[in-house]
Structure 1
């Protein structure tokens, strides 16, 4: 892990998103090519998200220490995968000893694409209904045409080139590791991710009873075992979710502390409880022929105006 006193060369561009209720700010700017030790000239667009980490109970008697110190006095790179990095930051030099997870958590995407910039910008959302016909005509082609670079960071983890020290469980079917949203210390905000190895499984729509019930049940049981063994979290202490539309199209399950509220990622429509998904697939057991239940369902969810599907899905609403 590297420690650096500052993010050398960052040039502020503009604020993408202010989230004061979450103590989070997302800005757009640039780094020089030297930030990534690249020889080419020119600036690299970068998104920086900075947010306040949870305050441990054992430091509650010294939340406001009377000491000098500049904001983000120290930074430590905690993880780096492809274009994604996250740092722990400290408000004062003495904080590193007192709060190992950092005073703030800093996420960096560099170089950031136009897709990233749209994703993290303020945007309005609408509810859309996705019928099976709309999925096959609009959504499935959109997913198929996405460039492989969008999930390069996932492949680097699955193929053993990144984040191997963080992996909590690994099998021939999937891995479990901490999500980059988690600070790795605060159990009440525990956030893990299970990523399947099958690259043909892209989203909720691809799940089939005859192939995936066993996979999902194994993910559930292994996640419960990891949480109990490592952090003493008992059955019922985890919330497991599948997002649709997902943030990236390589099938994964979100695993969070059941007491942790993470806002939009748990909103009705986008978040489907793993237990409910398994139950729906079980309705198809014994009937292997014909389309699966997630091929037949009409799904309703929120879609932001910056999403690549927004224009086509908005136009399609007059059909459903």
Structure 2
């Protein structure tokens, strides 16, 4: 089975597994028991694992340009400074795309720092550290960074992609999803309330909102894609990449996002349970608790938090 002529004798039966993270398919089929026959009676079961090789950094200068590796693109969507495209290494745009291309233009220094590979530290953010460093940072967060969110909430952008809309929140596909591969399904619920910036702003009276998001996300996933209850993983980031409250909604079988890691993702079920344990009066639980999270060395909060942690130790 060392050449393509041998592989052409593979008779496909079914897909055993697919992994959007590694871009891998594992196929079950049959191959002739000997290379010189195509007799199905003498065939044996075979498993073939097909994996797309990784993009090479040395090819980066060759991707675009008049003679670039990417020969064709198709617009997936755009809002404000963000654009999403599908790309093909050949001209066969009738088949599924080879790559998905996300563009940020113009990109600010903050964007560049965010997408640069980073070393992380674990921050134990006490309420005092939040008040001293994080809250002022959030309040000073540039409005331009969330203009794309406002465009969606105001019906200027992504209107045709909405899966659910109410006066409280919207549900739509996340830009990271190709909108085709069900195993990597990735949706986003964005709330209308601009006063909820992050996990720290949630109070007991928000439980109804959060449960509604859960309920409608499950309904949409069932009605549109046939996914049963329990098929979705819903979580909230802290720190988030932007300070307008939103909930990530992904297929429970999807493990392809670093943002799902411990130290950033907080399950929506757990958040609701904690809020339900809160007293009706007094400071909320997310005001009172110490939250531990990973923070990259390109983040604006990195240096003040690192110094604060050194002082405490």
- Give the TM-score of the pair, scaled to structure 2: 0.78
Partner in structure 2 of residue 47 of structure 1: none
Partner in structure 1 of residue 127 of structure 2: 132
Q: 1:165 aligned to 2:125?
A: no
Deviations 1:105-157 (A, max 9, x none): 00000000000000111110000100011111110011001111010000000
Q: 1:260 aligned to 2:254?
A: yes
- Give the superposition deviation at 1:62: 10
Q: How many pairs does the alignment contain? A: 260
Match of 1:87 among 74, 85, 88: 85
Unaligned runs of 5+ in 1: 1-20, 24-52
- Secondary structure at the aligned position of 1:236 is classed as coil
Q: 1:105 aligned to 2:105?
A: no
- Secondary structure at the aligned position of 2:77 is classed as strand
Tell me: CA distance 1:54–1:84, structure 2 relative to 1, closer, same or farther (3 Å): farther
- Give the superposition deviation at 1:98: 2.2
CA distance in 2, matches of 1:307, 1:199: 23
CA distance in 1, matches of 2:109, 2:68: 33
- Give the superposition deviation at 1:262: 2.4
- Give the superposition deviation at 1:73: 1.5
Q: 1:179 aligned to 2:177?
A: no
CA distance in 1, matches of 2:85, 2:294: 31
- Secondary structure at the aligned position of 1:126 is classed as strand
- Give the superposition deviation at 1:54: 7.3
Q: CA RMSD in A?
A: 2.4
Match of 1:235 among 184, 209, 229: 229
Partner in structure 2 of residue 74 of structure 1: 72
Partner in structure 2 of residue 292 of structure 1: 284
- Does the Cα contact within 8 Å between 2:171 and 2:217 map onto a contact in 1? yes
Tell me: CA distance 1:86–1:308, structure 2 relative to 1, closer, same or farther (3 Å): same
Match of 2:184 among 163, 174, 189: 189
Deviations 1:59-92 (A, max 9, x none): x99999xxxx973211011111100111001122
Misfit runs of 4+, over 2 Å: 53-57, 60-64
CA distance in 2, matches of 1:84, 1:62: 32
Q: 1:311 aligned to 2:309?
A: no
- Give the TM-score of the pair, scaled to structure 1: 0.77
- Does the Cα contact within 8 Å between 2:76 and 2:86 map onto a contact in 1? yes
Match of 2:293 among 301, 306, 314: 301
CA distance in 2, matches of 1:186, 1:145: 38
CA distance in 2, matches of 1:163, 1:145: 27
- Give the superposition deviation at 1:276: 0.3
CA distance in 2, matches of 1:263, 1:185: 17
